[in-house]
Amino acid sequence: MPPRSRNPISRRERPAKPALTRAGIVATAVEILRAEGLAKVTMRRLAQELDTGPASLYVYVANTDELHAAILDDLLGEVDLETAARGDDWRERLVGVLSSYTLVLFTHPELARAALVARPSGENYLRLLERLLALLDEGGVPAAQAAWGVDILLQSATATAAEASTRAQSQARAQQQWDAMTRALHEVDGQAYPQVHALADQLLSGTPQERLSWNFRMLINGIASTPVPQPLPS
Amino acid sequence: MPPRSRNPISRRERPAKPALTRAGIVATAVEILRAEGLAKVTMRRLAQELDTGPASLYVYVANTDELHAAILDDLLGEVDLETAARGDDWRERLVGVLSSYTLVLFTHPELARAALVARPSGENYLRLLERLLALLDEGGVPAAQAAWGVDILLQSATATAAEASTRAQSQARAQQQWDAMTRALHEVDGQAYPQVHALADQLLSGTPQERLSWNFRMLINGIASTPVPQPLPS
DNA sequence: ACCTGAACACCGTTCAAGT
DNA sequence: ACCTGAACACCGTTCAAGT
């Protein structure tokens, strides 16, 4: 048995309180995230978990947005950069990596929402960026197009995951919303909105997977075929 | 002079309290939005402005997310669906409408953030959808591709505006973030991240306008050239 | 049916004061 | 330099009770 506190009156028994560090704070935040979701990852709750006051956290973290970005950095370690299909076409491998990224964000859609505002810039994000650029390069996509395109690939995947965050909040509410949308589109006035009326079914068609896959392939085609404007020689 | 209250003791003098309606609530919300930003559009503040308690609002609005969607619907009335350039190529007109949509959202980037989660589905949103579909049709884009593509065009524009919401919060913080990103990309280890290292400049190049325009043209190219998967005959 | 006071259960951030 | 108690100024949502 390890020796307990020698002074049981001045210090109550509890697990040794570890020194605060940025890494420790982020690690605890990720724990709360996994156990209870992002909504519970608040400065106050985090402080409580770390056995201190919320003010103490501000020594290591600028604000809540920055905290969220740091959490995402951490989570991005789970993205599968290689994908099962090694021998496949570069496009399919690219879609694979992007799908993995999307799937990781789907486990915490509220975090995707945050990521649109405060982009991560840590190690795992860099690794992802590098991999995407390498695959675009392998496909012969001109570097300038790849550089601009990679941004949009990630933005699109992030936004898709963020859109799922209502659904995550309440299954019932999400169904309601979907029903309302379906009804609205089908009952649209064909005189005033002929296109919407005619395409109502197609606007709602496809499984999420089909649409996500089409989304990525469409983006890759667009990126590969759209030259970046020439900078004016100065 | 209009007659004042006949019973100054039982009812204090104040502008006649209008009956609560959903439209009235949304209109007041938009007023606060324009005057003080979305952060101030809270249920409590809105109730105060309407001279009632917050609980009363829940008769007309399901929750804060739904309120935000309704506000956006309203704001979408400002999107210019025709664009100056009438004679132009359909692509240029399409880019024009999308740019107008983006610009409207740029005036309230926090709302763009909300829009990713609770999509609007009101009159103004329908009008926008109709216009985008009509332009894609004019360009000979197959209907199925247009139907899936229009979603992504709007998503991309919305996400771009949402990304600006940090910047809106604090000019100084935004500059800091940009500097941090620039430094990170330029100081990246060329051995570990050869692509990122080589493309650092290009990843950061271009004005926001140039990138937005390229973004839309790239999406249009992708949408026009990527067939939707055939549904299996059932 | 519509409206509301009051309560429940929280927030982020700052700052002066301590160690 | 690092840490913190306490305060400031708020939140969304629910519910029992009124009209």
Interface test with B, best of A38, A68, A116 (most B CBs within 10 A): A116
> Within an 8 Å CB–CB cutoff, is residue B91 touching chain A?
no
> Within an 8 Å CB–CB cutoff, is residue B140 touching chain A?
no
* B119 vs A129, residue with greater confidence: A129
What's residue B65's pLDDT? Answer: 87
pLDDT, tens only, B65-113: 889 999 999 999 999 998 766 677 999 999 999 999 999 999 988 899 8
Within 7 Å: CB of B43 and strand D? yes
Query: Which CATH code for domain A77-222?
Result: 1.10.357.10
Residue spans per domain, chain B? 19-61, 77-222
Tell which residue, B210, B189, B211, has the closest CA to residue B198: B189
Q: Would the CB atoms of B218 and A117 count as touching at under 8 Å?
A: no
What's residue A174's pLDDT? Answer: 67
Q: Would the CB atoms of A221 and B221 count as touching at under 8 Å?
A: yes
Q: Which two tokens stand for residue A127?
A: 């690794």
Tell which residue, B98, B100, B101, B107, has the closest CA to residue B30: B107
Please name the residue whose C-alpha is nearest to the C1' of nucleotide C15: A55
Please report residues of A whose CB lies closer than 8 A to that of B163: 116-117, 119, 155
pLDDT, tens only, B131-188: 999 999 999 999 999 999 999 999 999 999 998 776 555 666 666 677 778 888 888 9
> In this predicted structure, which of A170-184, B40-54, B136-150 has the lowest mean pLDDT?
A170-184
Out of A117, A163, A193, name the one closest to residue B117 (CB): A163
Nucleotides of C under 7 A from a protein CB: 2-7, 10-16
Q: How far apart are CA A22 and CA A57, in angstroms?
A: 9
Q: What is the 3-state secondary structure (H, E, C) of chain A?
A: CCCCCCCCCCCCCCCCCCCCCHHHHHHHHHHHHHHHCHHHCCHHHHHHHCCCCHHHHCCCCCCHHHHHHHHHHHHHHHCCCCCCCCCCCHHHHHHHHHHHHHHHHHCCHHHHHHHHHCCCCCHHHHHHHHHHHHHHHHCCCCHHHHHHHHHHHHHHHHHHHHHCHHHHHCHHHHHHHHHHHHHHHHCCCCCCCHHHHHHHHHHHCCCHHHHHHHHHHHHHHHHHHCCCCCCCCC
Residues in A 60-119 whose C-beta is less than 7 A from nucleic strand D are 60
Q: How many CB atoms lie within 10 A of CB B8?
A: 9
- Give me the residues of B, 187-226, that contact A with CB < 8 A: 188, 192-196, 198-199, 202-203, 205-206, 210-211, 214-215, 217-223, 225-226
* A230 vs B170, residue with greater confidence: A230
CA dist list (Å): A206 to A203, A215, B145: 9, 12, 12
Which class for B107: exposed (0-12), middle (13-18), buried (19 or more C-beta within 10 A)? middle
Q: How far apart are CA B107 and CA B114, in angstroms?
A: 14
> Within an 8 Å CB–CB cutoff, is residue A34 touching chain B?
no
Read off the pTM: 0.88
CA dist list (Å): B30 to B26, B57, B60: 6, 15, 16
> Within an 8 Å CB–CB cutoff, is residue B228 touching chain A?
yes
pLDDT at B45 over 70: yes
Nucleotides of D under 7 A from a protein CB: 2-7, 10-16
- A147 and A157 in contact (C-beta within 8 Å)? no
Q: Would the CB atoms of B196 and A133 count as touching at under 8 Å?
A: yes
Nearest CA distance, B84 vs chain A (angstrom): 22
Q: Name the one residue in this structure whose structure tokens are 């620039």.
A: B182
> Within an 8 Å CB–CB cutoff, is residue A133 touching chain B?
yes
pLDDT at A172 over 70: no
Q: Would the CB atoms of A210 and B229 count as touching at under 8 Å?
A: yes
- Architecture of the domain defined by A19-61: Orthogonal Bundle (1.10)
Å between CA of A200 and C1' of D12: 35
Q: Would the CB atoms of A225 and B225 count as touching at under 8 Å?
A: yes
Q: How far apart are CA A43 and CA A55, in angstroms?
A: 8
**H or E stretch including B27?**
helix B22-36
Can you spell out the DSSP letters for B46-106?
HHHHTTS-HHHHTTT-S-HHHHHHHHHHHHGGG--SS-S-SSS-HHHHHHHHHHHHHHHHH
> Within an 8 Å CB–CB cutoff, is residue A102 touching chain B?
no
On the CB side of B66, CA atoms within 13 Å amount to: 14
What's residue B12's pLDDT? Answer: 37
* Rg, chain A, Cα only: 23
Q: Which nucleotide is nearest to A39 (CA to C1')?
A: C11
CA A68, B158, A158, A148 torsion: positive or negative?
Answer: negative
Tell which residue, B218, B208, B222, has the closest CA to residue B95: B218
Q: How many residues in chain A?
A: 234
Percent of all residues in chain B with a pLDDT value above 90, rounded to a whole number: 64
Question: Phi-psi category of A37—alpha, beta or left, where left has phi over 0 and alpha has psi -120 to 50?
Answer: left
3 state DSSP class of B124: helix
Nearest CA distance, B111 vs chain A (angstrom): 12
